[in-house]
Homo-oligomer: A and B are copies of this chain.
Amino acid sequence: MTEPTLLPESGFRRLRIELAYDGTNYFGWGKQPDRRTIQEEIESALSTISRVKIDSVVAGRTDAGVHAVGQVIHVDVPEGLKIEDLLFKLNTLLDEDIRIHKVDIAEPGFHARFSALRRHYIYKIVDGNQVVAPLMRFDIAPWYRTLDIDQMNEASQLLIGEHDFFAFCKFRASSTTIRNLERFDWIRDGEGVLIANVVADAFCYSMVRNLVGAVACVGEGRFSPSWITSVLTNAERISDGMVFPARGLTLKKVEYPAADQLMARLESTLRRRGDEE
């Protein structure tokens, strides 16, 4: 195979693979020449085991430094390939900052990217120049100012719903920036870490980190919560200086429809959508 096809080609069967990674030492998911990426590591391990070149399709194309605890991909492998010990073999080949959690034969019509109903991200911040615990530092973004969680929750709620999130997306000519933001709220955990839960059907490139950056401006008291609405409706891209760092961002999980709705979902998604993260 050279390019992933919508459905598996004859002689191949599709696998649904769940995985997790610490993105710290990778240039993100997507393959790039001469850079260490998670896609390259996974495909290379799969190709070594199956002895054919394997291409993967991912649910959430995470950016450099972004982590995942519940990433989902699909790959089409030769029908003869033994599936039973694939998880073990993959984890033996991969470094321990990438771990395969689950390997299943995919239901008919399953497509890791196009079948996905929604993506869940979390974003963690330690604010007020507090010290970040060394063993927890990998997925937490430190911030020097103190953030007001109530103001942040008020601002975040104003973004819920289907909107054109152009102002929070890096522009790509070919793709829509209309997204349905289903959840965006903040809690402070027992250790004082601010945690955002962000859920949408799909996200544009760097959208979560832009949303977090804009809401943090409100949390710092620089703007009132309603400022967020003006950003959204003015549809001018917010400053790159507001983008929060990749290290705080983790893809938590990806939701798919029940098996008997996969084919219908695949068709409707293809009609509706262009590029997404």
Contact = CB atoms under 8 A, between A and B. Distances in A.
Interface of A: 20-22, 67, 69, 91, 96-101, 131-135, 137-139, 250
A99 B20 contact: no
Contact of A135 (B20, B91, B132, B133): B20
For the residues of A in contact with B, the DSSP-based class is mixed
A133 B69 contact: yes
Contact of A22 (B20, B101, B137, B250): B137
A135 B101 contact: no
A135 B69 contact: yes
B137 A96 contact: yes
Contacts of A21: 134
Copies of this chain held together in the complex: 2
B135 A138 contact: yes
Nearest to A99: B131
Most buried by B among A20, A97, A134: A134
Contacts of A101: 131
Contact of A131 (B91, B132, B139): B91
B69 A132 contact: no
The 6 A-B pairs of least Cβ separation, nearest first, read: A22-B134, A99-B131, A97-B134, A20-B134, A22-B135, A21-B134
A67 B135 CA distance: 8
27 contacts: A20-B133, A20-B134, A20-B135, A21-B134, A22-B134, A22-B135, A22-B137, A67-B134, A67-B135, A69-B133, A69-B135, A91-B131, A96-B132, A96-B134, A96-B137, A97-B134, A97-B137, A98-B134, A99-B131, A99-B132, A99-B133, A99-B134, A100-B131, A101-B131, A135-B138, A135-B139, A135-B250
Nearest to A139: B135
A248 to B, nearest CB: 12
